[in-house]
A and B are shown apart, each in its own frame.
Chain A
Amino acid sequence: MHQQTPASLSQLGIHTLTAEFERTKGALKSYIVRITANRQEAEDIVQETSSRAHRNVASFKGDSSVKTWLFAIAQNIARDHLRSLKRWPEDVGDICKDAAMKDPDFFREAMTIHKTSPQAQFEIREHIAFCFTCVSRSLPLEQQLALMLKEVYEFTAKEIAEIMETNEAMVKYYLHTGRGRMMEVFDKRCALINKEGVCHQCTELNGIFNPKQNAQEEAVKLQMVRDAKKGDKEHLFDLRMKVMQELDPFTSPAAELQLHHLEFDRQVMEMHEAPA
């Protein structure tokens, strides 16, 4: 991963920090919304990260990249709140689907966004990214954070250790267990990669938002779906992560629609009695 590592930001000045922040802001906001599932909170945390970084610029000694330092500040702001929240269940998709079916406002709002926003073109790959964001919240928090940082934002284990204020060995443990668990969950649930999978939500929603499309034809445009027959779970997981990497939840073609779904899921989960 290419990152600039100045000897010391305090030597280079506040303008350098501002420029680095602007370069990092998009990825930072994308990461925070994926771990908090809360658009407003993501925007607030990114803003607060900027303030704290500028206030504490002298404390940056150049031991890590500026990007790593900014992610560490943001995660530090988000961490306590995230720890106080209950983790979501693996079948979050089923629970939220049931809730959506009972809530006439959900589809009304979604359809309005779909028709009026330039960023609301439903695509299956967008839902795959949304789905991973939600299901990864069933992992223990540290596993979810490490997995996102490594697999989606491509930080090294050493950088993740700095961001999470832990050591590399623990990061390795979180990555191993988190990745293994997610592969297992998707292998069991995702009908795109397993014919026996119980969840067809992405193709069902494609039918609603794009009634003229053949969902199966759309699905096979994804390499993950084409390679599913090979049965290599590690490979399929890597392809799923590639989908995540390619989409920014704030700027993708379906951003408004997916952020609406994410907000709905978060509200449903706040009401849902999930295990702590």
Chain B
Amino acid sequence: MNLVTPLLIMTTAAAIAQPASTTRTTFHRETSVATTIKADESIIWALLTNASDYPRWNSTITAIQGTIALGEKIVLKSTLDAKRSFKLKVKELQPAKKLVWGDGKGQRTFTLRNNGDGTVTFTMHERIGGLMFPMYAKYIPNFDESFNAFAADLKKEAELIQKKAN
């Protein structure tokens, strides 16, 4: 039995304000995570919108090709399913506030909220589904661990940049 992995997951989850949770209905599945980051929202935004830089700091993404700009198409490769490439479109972009990308089956929303005390609340939410969802739902892995890792990686990197440059 591997005792290390559950411990790592617990540690990662403990570092973030609201560890990932998933809700399911017949036709949809939604996963959310939130964390408080002690860094300027511009730094967090830069990390979220520089496609080629993701693999350097984000342990859940192995590559993003393309430009993260409104209306642009990107190709994302994730550790969740290393064999697949996800072709996504950037559907909404409000600088330093909100970013949405997705395809016909689902969409991921990133939001930043400045708390006015030197911290920013980062949330990431993904909704997948549709009428055909019951047919392929069992093939989609659980996102919770990956969401926790994404949020923890973002927090760690943004706070490191903030701290280093101060």
User: Does B85 reach chain A (CB closer than 8 Å)?
Assistant: no
Q: Does B47 contact A (CB under 8 A)?
A: yes
Give A174 to B45 CA distance when docked, in angstroms.
12
Q: Are A176 and B42 in contact (CB under 8 A)?
A: no
Q: Is B43 an interface residue (CB 8 A)?
A: yes
- Interface size on A, as a range, is 10 to 19
Take A177-B56, A180-B56 as given contacts and tell me if A157 and B165 are in contact as well, using a CB distance cutoff of 8 Å. Answer: yes
Proximity string of chain B (140-159) to chain A, C-beta cutoff 8 Å, 1 when within and 0 when not: 00000000000000000000
A176–B165 touching, CB < 8 Å: yes
- Minimum CB–CB distance from B159 to chain A (whole Å) comes to 11
User: Given that A173-B47, A177-B53, A177-B56 are known contacts, is A167 also in contact with B42, CB under 8 Å in the complex?
Assistant: yes
What secondary structure prevails in chain B residues at the interface with A?
Answer: helix
A-B contact count (CB 8 A): 40
On chain B, the residues within 8 Å of A175 by CB distance are 165
Is A170's beta carbon under 8 Å from chain B? yes
Interface residues, chain A, CB within 8 Å of chain B? 140, 157, 167-177, 180-181
Tell me the B residues contacting A by CB distance below 8 Å.
Answer: 39-43, 46-47, 50, 52-53, 56, 160-162, 164-165
A selection of 26 A-B contacts at a CB cut-off of 8 Å is A140-B50, A140-B52, A168-B40, A168-B165, A169-B42, A169-B43, A169-B46, A169-B162, A170-B42, A171-B165, A172-B40, A172-B43, A172-B161, A172-B162, A172-B165, A173-B46, A174-B46, A175-B165, A176-B160, A176-B161, A176-B165, A177-B50, A177-B53, A177-B56, A180-B56, A181-B56
